[in-house]
Amino acid sequence: MQLYNTLSAKEREALIEQAGKERLTISFYQYAHIGNPQILRDHLFINWDKMEVLGRIYVAHEGVNAQLSVPAENFEVFKAHLDSISFLENVRLNIAIEQHDKSFLKLKVKVRRKIVADGLDDGTFDVTDKGIHVNAEKFNELIEASDTVLVDMRNHYESEIGHFKNAITPDVDTFRDSLDIIEKDLSEHKENKNLVMYCTGGIRCEKASAYYKHKGFKNVYQLEGGIIEYARQVEQKKLENKFLGKNFVFDHRRGERITEHVIAQCHQCGAPCDTHVNCANEACHLLFIQCGDCAKKMDNCCSVACREIVALPYEVQKKMRKGITISNKIFKKGRSEVLKFKKGPGAVTEK
């Protein structure tokens, strides 16, 4: 029985082009108590592979976290399958604002220790004692109040291209890095301020809100469905859009535009730009922001050294990177001194 991918990304891309089918990019998460994550993992792979689902799905004892795409014609079958799993019945599905048929090119369902790497000992607090979920309308009201502190629970490369007006944006590489920094920097506001949080789709706020309540914050709120659902509600209800720029997403699109504001800059020349790319050198793959002019000048590379490597014959490049392991290859989040206009690590900042 097939329980893994048999096609390369290029082969899958060709099949998607040949099929000519519209695909929907979807994300969802659900915390639950799962006794045997491996059994659920195999069950999801077997069924979703038949539906031509592609994506990145994590299964753990604490629940499921999924980012995926499915042919639009198979959506109802996919939804019916979710509803057949007790803890996933009627789970909220965040459908992308901007669709792209090639947002994912493989189906990867992995068993992990946690569905979000947070570095927390969940045994020390009640993860179900979460903050108050608010919709876009209530969120807009809260963040305009003088007794509210608005915090972006995402990483530096996400908030750099888009964030809510006046949000505190921790300059961190990972979610786990932000938790203690925020708790320390906002400690004086635990009782006299509303702590309002947001993230891409809501999953990080789900855990963080329980953690901050455990740490003594009295009034904790989180944006229901994250930026993705906020943008949808703003459009449907004709509300004021208080988000600026792009929403970073963890697929081949790397971002979906929420407003026309361009708040970031090319990391190589400083020109206004909010397009994330990965360095063309496969031994590097640094994630950074690059404008069209620099892409041409640098052959889609982050540095002169990488450009020189890319200019070599492909077989030579393969020999050079033999034995080199690249962690988190697609979304490598490392800092690099070669990026002149890249903001360096620092404390919590407000924008």
Are 214 and 134 within one domain?
yes
Are 128 and 236 within one domain?
yes
Q: What domain range is 334 assigned to?
A: 264-351
Instruction: Choose the final residue of a domain: 82, 111, 140.
Output: 111
Domain CATH code at residue 60: 3.30.70.100
Are 21 and 99 within one domain?
yes
- Reported as half-sphere exposure (CB side, CA atoms, 13 A), residue 35 has a value of 0
Q: How many CB atoms lie within 10 A of CB 149?
A: 21
- Residue 229: name the closest of 133, 132, 148 by CA: 133
Structure tokens at 86: 């007790």
- Reported as half-sphere exposure (CB side, CA atoms, 13 A), residue 215 has a value of 24
Are 147 and 211 within one domain?
yes
DSSP element (H, E) containing 41: helix 37-50
Q: How far apart are CA 236 and CA 16, in angstroms?
A: 31
Residue 204 lies in a domain: yes
Residue 246 lies in a domain: no
Structural domain count, the chain: 3
Domain CATH code at residue 152: 3.40.250.10
Instruction: Choose the final residue of a domain: 53, 84, 111.
Output: 111
Are 29 and 99 within one domain?
yes
**Helix axes 136-144 and 226-237, enclosed angle (nearest 10):** 100
Are 156 and 233 within one domain?
yes
pLDDT one digit per residue (tens) for the chain, 351 residues: 667 777 788 888 898 998 889 999 999 999 999 999 999 999 999 999 999 999 999 999 999 999 999 999 999 999 999 999 999 999 999 999 888 899 999 999 999 999 998 888 888 888 888 999 999 999 999 999 999 999 999 999 999 999 999 999 999 988 988 999 999 999 999 999 999 999 999 999 999 999 999 999 999 999 999 999 999 999 999 999 999 999 999 898 999 999 999 999 999 999 999 999 999 998 888 999 999 999 999 999 999 999 999 999 999 998 888 877 665 555 556 678 889 887 644 333 444
pLDDT of residue 333: 63
Active-site positions read 199
Residue 300 lies in a domain: yes
Are 200 and 94 within one domain?
no
Are 151 and 235 within one domain?
yes
Are 98 and 205 within one domain?
no
Q: How far apart are CA 148 and CA 220, in angstroms?
A: 10
Instruction: Choose the final residue of a domain: 76, 91, 111.
Output: 111
Are 231 and 273 within one domain?
no
Residue 180 lies in a domain: yes
Are 138 and 235 within one domain?
yes
Residue 284 lies in a domain: yes
Q: What are phi and psi of 211, to 5 degrees?
A: -65, -45
Are 159 and 225 within one domain?
yes
Per-residue H/E/C for 297-316:
HCCCCCCHHHHHHHCCCHHH
Residue 166 lies in a domain: yes
Find the DSSP H helices in 132-214.
136-144, 156-159, 175-185, 203-214
pLDDT of residue 345: 42
Residue 130 lies in a domain: yes
Residue 118 lies in a domain: no
pLDDT of residue 117: 86
